[in-house]
Amino acid sequence: MIRDLWHVFLVGILAILALIGIAGFRIHSLAAIAGPHSGTTASTSATLNVLPTTLSVTVSPGTTTFSDCHGGSPPNRSTPTQLGYPNAKCSIGTLGTKGTFPVTVENTGISSKIEVSASNAVPADNGQQLQLCAANGDVTCRGPNQEPGANQYEARTDSPGEVSPTWLTTNLVCDVTFDASSGCSAARMQTRTEGIELTGPTTWSDKSTSYTIVITWMAAPR
């Protein structure tokens, strides 16, 4: 009887030891499998630059002031920085074969046409504007010799080496000073420097002493 109990007890002890061994072996195996495959990762980020696929143009400087003013009749003759009347002139830069052309226009997008327009001249008090007139525009000049009349002005851009100026209107027109030989087309990153000349009215109604004109260039599909 005692011998049978001892035999059962011994079998149980052996079974428990076997289970402990199996469990230990499994844990050790799992640790061995997981160990070599654990760790950290590292990477680098690389930037790829590509050519532009859009139409775009830049103009500098962003703001400027007309100067080199001359013309008009006494007692309303221009000063070097103030427009007189009738039909005096001011410019940004100095136009001509030996002129200066301070406005830089650059085609920063894909190959395109460069077009340009200008706004009416808005006085500081937002009163009576000077209408932009031109022979090829919506508003014709009503002054003597087809120059601007009362409360009107006209303007043109020019560039070194160009035969014909671009007369500005309130609608976009081809900037022939950019490339007169091929219809104002511009290759990518092509740049031109330009100057602007303004002819003032016979007289004006507003009492402001400064006006603002916005000149806009646009890259258009060829």
pLDDT tens for each residue of 62-115: 999 999 999 999 999 999 999 999 999 999 998 877 789 999 999 999 999 999
The answer to whether residues 112 and 187 belong to one domain is yes
The answer as to whether 38 is a domain residue is no
pTM to 2 decimal places: 0.77
The answer to whether residues 28 and 65 belong to one domain is no
Give how many domains the chain has, as a whole number: 2
* Residue-level pLDDT at 104: 96
Burial 156-168 (b: 16+ CB within 10 A, else e): bbbbbebeebbbb
The answer as to whether 108 is a domain residue is yes
With CA atoms as reference, report the closest residue to 105 among 31, 36, 41, 184: 184
**181 neighbors 15 (Cβ within 8 angstroms):** no
User: Within the chain, what is the greatest distance between any pair of CA atoms?
Assistant: 145
CATH number at residue 212: 2.60.40
**Phi and psi at residue 80, in whole multiples of 5°?**
-60, -25
pLDDT tens digits, 153-186? 999 998 887 777 899 999 999 998 777 676 789 9
Range of the domain at 180: 57-220
